[in-house]
Amino acid sequence: MCPKKDKSRPIKTSKDSDKTDGDANPLQFLKRNGQAAWEAVKKQVNPDFSQEEDDSSKQNLYQNPPFDIEDTDPENSRETIANTDHQPITDHQPIYVQQRITAELCLIVPAWLVSNLTPPQTLTREEICHLIDNCAYFCCLPSRDLDSLEQDLQPTSEPILHSERDVYIRIQIENGEDMIDNSSCYGLKKRLPQTETGELQERLLLANLSGRQHFNRI
C-alpha cells in the first residue's frame, strides 16, 4: 500500500531549485541574467561602486568639457554677434545695376520759341521744362532709335524766323533713361534729372506733317 502524500508539505520544483541555487551561487545567477545580474552583484559587493562611478564621470566632464569655457563669456558672445552684422554677404546673389542711358528728347515747337537757339547749345533744366510746356508733339527715346524717327521728317532750308511754323528740335540728356517712352509732358518733367542739363543737338524747320506718327500729340 502506497503511503499518502503529505499535501501540507510544499513540493520542490526545478524552478525553485534553480532559484535557490542561483541565489546561493552568484556565478550561476550571473550566467542567466547577464549584465543586469553583474550590476546587481557589484552593488552587493560594493554599494558605493555605482556612486563612485558617477562621481568619476562628473569629474572627467568638469576637467574636459565638450566646449571651451571661454566661448561662453557673454562679452565675447556680444562681440561675435556684432562682428557678424558687418560681414559681407558671401552668397552669389545677382546685383542689378540700372544702366545709364542717354535719352534723346524730341520736340516739335513753334519757331518763335527757338529762333534764338543755335545747336550745339547747353540748356538748363528750367529751359528744357519750358520747351516741353510749349511743344505740340513730343517723344523721348534712346539714341539707337533716332534714325527711324528722323528719316521720316521733311525739313526745309528756309531760315527759322519768329513765326508759328513747326520746328523740330532734339535735346540730348545724360542719365535720362527714366524719361524714355513717357507718354505725358508731366511724366517727362517729373523724370528729368534734377541736376542734369541738356545739349541741343538739332533744330530743323519742317516743311510738312511727315513723321508725326512717331510722336505723342498734346
Tell me the pLDDT tens digit for each residue of 149-173: 999 999 999 999 989 999 999 999 9
Q: Are residues 55 and 134 in the same domain?
A: no
Q: Specify the pLDDT at position 100.
A: 77
* Residues 187 and 138 placed together within one structural domain of the fold: yes
More confident residue, 118 or 8: 118
Domain count, the chain: 2
Q: Is residue 113 part of a domain?
A: yes
Looking at the chain, the whole-number percentage of residues with pLDDT higher than 70 is 55
Q: What cell numbers appear for 48 in the block?
A: 558605493
Over the stretch 70-97, which tens digit does the pLDDT of each residue have? 555 555 555 555 555 555 555 556 665 5
Instruction: Tell me, yes or no, whether 111 and 62 share the same domain.
Output: no
Is 111 found in the same domain as 204? yes
| Together in a domain, 203 and 107 | yes
In-domain check, residue 158:
yes
The residue segments making up the domain with residue 182 are 103-217
What pLDDT, on a 0 to 100 scale, did the predictor assign at position 91?
A: 57
Express each pLDDT in 104-127 by its tens digit. Answer: 999 999 999 999 999 999 999 999
Same domain, 133 and 58: no
Query: Rounded to an integer, what distance in angstroms lies between the CA atom of residue 108 and that of residue 101?
Result: 23
Q: What pLDDT, on a 0 to 100 scale, did the predictor assign at position 22?
A: 46
Give 218's pLDDT tier (boundaries 50, 70, 90).
confident
Mean pLDDT of 173-178: 91
194 or 99, higher pLDDT: 194
Q: What is the DSSP letter of 98?
A: P
Q: Please tell me which residue, 13 or 125, carries the higher pLDDT value.
A: 125
Is residue 188 in some structural domain? yes
Tell me, yes or no, whether 51 and 145 share the same domain: no
Is residue 75, in this structure, part of any structural domain at all? no
Measured distance CA(110)–CA(205) in Å, rounded: 9
Mean pLDDT of the chain: 76
Please check whether residue 4 lies inside any domain of the structure. Answer: no
Same domain, 56 and 131: no
Tell me what pLDDT residue 63 has: 59
Expressed in angstroms, the distance from the first to the final Cα of the chain is 140
Q: What is the DSSP string of 153-208?
A: --EE-S---SSS-EEEEEEEETT-GGGTT--SHHHHHHHS-TT--EEEEEEEEESS
Residues 25 and 113 in one domain: no
Q: Which residues contact 118 (CB under 8 A, 6 or more apart)?
A: 203
State whether 113 and 166 are in the same domain: yes
Quick one: average pLDDT of 131-140?
Answer: 96
- pLDDT over 60 at 43, yes or no: yes
Q: Are 30 and 38 in contact (CB under 8 A)?
A: yes
State the average pLDDT over residues 22-51. Answer: 60
* Per-residue pLDDT at 112: 96
Q: Is residue 138 part of a domain?
A: yes
In a domain, 156, yes or no: yes
Establish if 91 belongs to a structural domain.
Answer: no
Q: Give yes or no for a contact between 202 and 109, defined as CB atoms under 8 angstroms apart.
A: no
Contact status, residue 146 vs residue 199, Cβ threshold 8 Å = no
The pLDDT-based confidence of 101 (bands split at 50, 70, 90) is confident
Residues 63 and 107 in one domain: no
51/107 same-domain check = no
